[in-house]
Structure 1
Amino acid sequence: MTIKFLSSLAKGQPGILHHCTPDLVAFEYTRGATRKPHTLLFIGGLGDGLGSVEYISDLVQALDPTEWTVFAIVLSSYYGGWGMGRLGKDIDEIAQCVQYIRDYKTRQFGKGKVVVMGHSTGSQDVMQYISATNPRPRHPVFDREWIPILRPDIDGAIMQAPVSDREAILWVLHCGTERDSPETMRQIYDKAVEDARNATYEDHDSVDTIVPVSVTARIGYPPTAAVSSRRFLSLASPDSPEKPEEDDLFSSDLSDEQLGHTFGAVGSRGVLKQKLMVLYSGRDQSVPPWVDKEALLRRWQAVIDAGKQEFWSPHSMIILGASHALSDPDQAEPRRILVERVTGFLNDIQQE
């Protein structure tokens, strides 16, 4: 029998549920009436939901005596919605939440700082938020009746566990699974890609088609999640590294030219006002062994700072021994380091 100890969040946390829009909510963790002008807005990864990333409890506790509160947004792509979601809609919703927080905090306390922190695919949201054109490009299918939102600026950005979904899939294909050999996995994957390309949309190209759950489950996705052909192709990005899809931002084989469209575009967009911190997990289960993590971070830093604006935070690091979400039983020390880095970063943002 496995015993799972409940985090302080699982036991219950006081807070305020905010309606950023009629359909978009965020939860603010509050533990008292202390003046809190500054905000850390947290974004989870694929399959996450409110409170599902355990180390949030550590951050909430550490920030209790400071002037920072933690907001956790509930994106429409949360829980099982990630398979039908897209980064473009995510960053529009984050923009709405950031604007709400700025207005709300200004009314309460005056102008404060806002930092956006993403875990896993939340890191892809963060990178798109600070590097995409503002407003982002319109999607030919899903933005027919929607105008992309002009994103308000943010003071700082944090990416934790910014891994490549494509390389994670390639690792599964390389190793196989308990059920399928590498050869069988490659056949399943190749057919899924071919089918998704041949029929990405239906009903006059107005709605997504769905990859069979029997296929996505064998690749490693939850059997309860419907994954659209469009999102599958975005995550798998079969034409990378030459033509990376929307979700393929962090693969180790992307060229400096490709990184220039993301990390290298941060300075020209004007959305990020101060620094970006990257916290890469040293023992991330989603990262294949061929990825040189130290070299990858050095490349990202070189590209983002090529414009001489020095957006890269010196608090960035690889947290040795850290798992993807720092949720394993042996993660007390990595979580301590993560909290130390985040609080130090926020203090620097506050002082500038």
Structure 2
Amino acid sequence: MQLKILTSLAVGQAGILHHITTSLIAFEHTHGSPRKPHTLLFIGGLGDGLGTVEYLKDVVVGLESSDWSFFNLVLSCSNGGWGMGRLGTDTDEIAQAVEYIRKYKEPHYGPGKVVIMGHSTGSQDVMHYLYSPNPRPAHPVLDKCWEPVLRTPVDGAIMQAPVSDREAILWVVKCGTARDSPASMQELYKKAVFDAERNTYEENESVDTIVPLSVTSRIGYPANAPVSSRRFLSLVSPKSPEKPSEDDLFSSDLTDARLSETFGRIGSRGLLGQKMMVLYSGCDQSVPDWVDKEALLDRWEKASNGCGRDIWDHRSTVIPNASHALSDPDQAEPRKILVDRVVSYLDDIQNW
């Protein structure tokens, strides 16, 4: 167990850098107290890393007087590596982090509570952790030398800004950009999907191919982030809604039958000890204007509780005026709502 004391980049407070494996790390905010019994484990979205989600400093401050410590997990696909990553690997790494945290805390406090919280694509990671078979199925190309990782249950789960990457991209394609008209963007998108499907792997079907940066940057991805054909197809999910990819969990046009296979399996999978809270941003820049956010949450709640077990937390809501990561100058009130709900939720998890 390797620990290193340093200063948090997010809030300038002391913390501990945990080396969970040789390549997997997490930062624990300590607030002057080395250990607390319970843990909120945070998973960022595409492009996120240590301290990149601004509202985390508000959450950390909100937990200062509580029995909860805050861990910021840095996955192997964090920062610029998301384009070559996948949810299966993320899920394995989250499982390793949960197991590490329990072993780290138990000698001092016994079996404390662990809650996982995902932002944006981190919410997809949370969903995969909770509903996928345990251990997850092996990828036919990428997991030839993989050893299955058994996930242990968590006490709670939070999803913040669980948006559809597919619908966000289709919105750009529909509206066009300053550089490309809608017609030009649609042509670019169709060709990118065709090329990715035709040549997803190379080297005897064992190595990812890369979508040209000149294409992905025009669709809206960072110009310096390589995206594999495999991950691109998972994000845009061209066969949805009939055959959604593993990344396509939150699109508004997914059928009730599909939601019963994802949200509806959380209760029976046995990996969620108590309840799940969903906080959707009311003014999320990644959500097309055709999406009815309140209706979408109602469908998710119905699917989640459809197995006969009430797992949907009553604090789940669409936060008024909240942007995707609550990072704009006018986000003080949405941040307060988010922190209040997270703290209240964790209080209940602790006392159940």
Match of 2:166 in 1: 166
Question: Within 5 Å, which residues of 2 pair with 1:151-230?
Answer: 151-230=151-230
What's the offset of the Cα at 1:10?
Answer: 4.0
Matching residue of 1:3: none
Distance in 2, matches of 1:79 and 1:34, equals 27
Partner of 2:289: 289
Once the two structures are superposed, what CA deviation does each residue of 1:169-193 show, in whole Å capped at 9, x if it has no partner?
Answer: 0100111000000000000000000
Contact 2:11 2:57 in 1 (8 A): no
Matched to 2:87, the amino acid is L
Q: Tell me the amino acid that sits aligned with residue 53 of structure 1.
A: V
Q: Sort the Cα spacing of 1:288 and 1:307 in 2 relative to 1 into closer, same or farther, 3 A.
A: same
Q: Give the 3-state SS of the residue equivalent to 2:307 in structure 1.
A: coil
1:350 is paired with a residue whose SS is: helix
**Identity of counterpart residues, as a percentage?**
67
Aligned counterparts of 1:24 and 1:285: Cα–Cα separation in 2: 31
Other-structure match for 1:61: 61
Equivalent AA in structure 2 for residue 258 of structure 1: R
Shifted more, 15-24 versus 118-127: the winner is: 15-24
Would you say the 8 A contact 1:49–1:78 is kept in 2?
A: yes
2:311 aligned partner: 311
Deviation at 1:34, TM superposition (A): 7.0
1:250 aligns to 2:250 (yes or no):
yes
Q: Which runs of 4 or more aligned residues in structure 1 lie more than 6 Å from their structure 2 counterparts after TM superposition?
A: none
Q: Deviations over 1:138-183 (max 9, x none)?
A: 0011110012310011000000000000000010011100000000
Q: Which amino acid aligns with 2:19?
A: H
Q: Secondary structure at the match of 2:159?
A: strand
Q: CA deviation at 1:254?
A: 0.2
C-alpha distance in structure 2 between counterparts of 1:13 and 1:233, whole Å:
40
Q: Check the 8 A contact 1:95/1:149 in 2, yes or no.
A: yes
Once residues 106 and 112 of structure 2 are traced to their aligned partners in structure 1, the CA distance between those partners, rounded to angstroms, is: 7
What is the RMSD of the two structures over their aligned residues, measured on CA atoms?
A: 1.0
2 CA distance for matches of 1:95 and 1:315?
Answer: 26
Mapped partners of 2:257, 2:149: distance in 1: 27
Which residue of structure 2 aligns with residue 231 of structure 1?
231
8 A Cα contact 2:88 2:136, kept in partner: yes
CA contact (8 A) 1:83 1:228 kept: yes
1:95 paired to 2:95: yes
Q: Structure 1 pair 257/11, CA: closer, same or farther in 2 (3 Å)?
A: closer
Distance in 2 (CA, whole Å) between partners of 1:311 and 1:340 is 20
Alignment of 1:1-352 (within 5 A): 9-10=9-10, 12-33=12-33, 36-352=36-352
Supply the distance in 2 between the matched residues of 1:61 and 1:10 (Cα, whole angstroms). Answer: 11
What SS does the corresponding residue of 2:89 show, helix, strand or coil?
helix
Deviation at 1:11, TM superposition (A): 5.4
d(CA) in 2 for partners of 1:84, 1:261: 26
Letter in 2 for 1:309: R
The answer for the alignment partner of 2:5 in structure 1 is none
Task: Report the Cα distance in structure 2 between the residues aligned to 1:61 and 1:291, rounded to whole angstroms.
Answer: 33
1:13 deviates by 2.4
Counterpart position of 2:3: none
For the 8 Å contact 1:9–1:57, the answer to whether it is kept is no
The number of aligned residues is 345
Amino acid aligned to 1:155? D
CA distance 1:10–1:63, change in 2 (3 Å): closer
Report the Cα distance in structure 1 between the residues aligned to 2:34 and 2:233, rounded to whole angstroms. Answer: 46
> TM-score, length-normalised on structure 2?
0.97
Measured in 2, the distance between the counterparts of 1:296 and 1:302 equals 10
Please give the secondary structure, in 2, of the residue aligned with 1:280. Answer: strand
> How many angstroms apart in 2 are the aligned matches of 1:229 and 1:249?
19
Alpha-carbon distance in structure 2 between the residues aligned to 1:26 and 1:208:
28
Is 2:161–2:325's contact at 8 Å kept on the other side of the alignment?
yes
Q: Alpha-carbon deviation of 1:33?
A: 2.2
Instruction: State the SS of the aligned residue for 1:76.
Output: coil
- What is the DSSP-based 3-state SS (H/G/I as helix, E as strand, rest coil) of the residue aligned with 1:216? helix
Letter in 2 for 1:295: A
| 3-state SS, counterpart of residue 97 of structure 1 | helix
Secondary structure at the residue paired with 2:13?
Answer: coil
Query: Residue 4 of structure 1 aligns with which residue?
Result: none
- 8 Å contact from structure 2 (residues 265, 307) kept in 1: no
Structure 1 residue runs of 5 or longer lacking an equivalent are 1-7
**Contact 1:90-1:125 within 8 A present in 2 as well:** yes
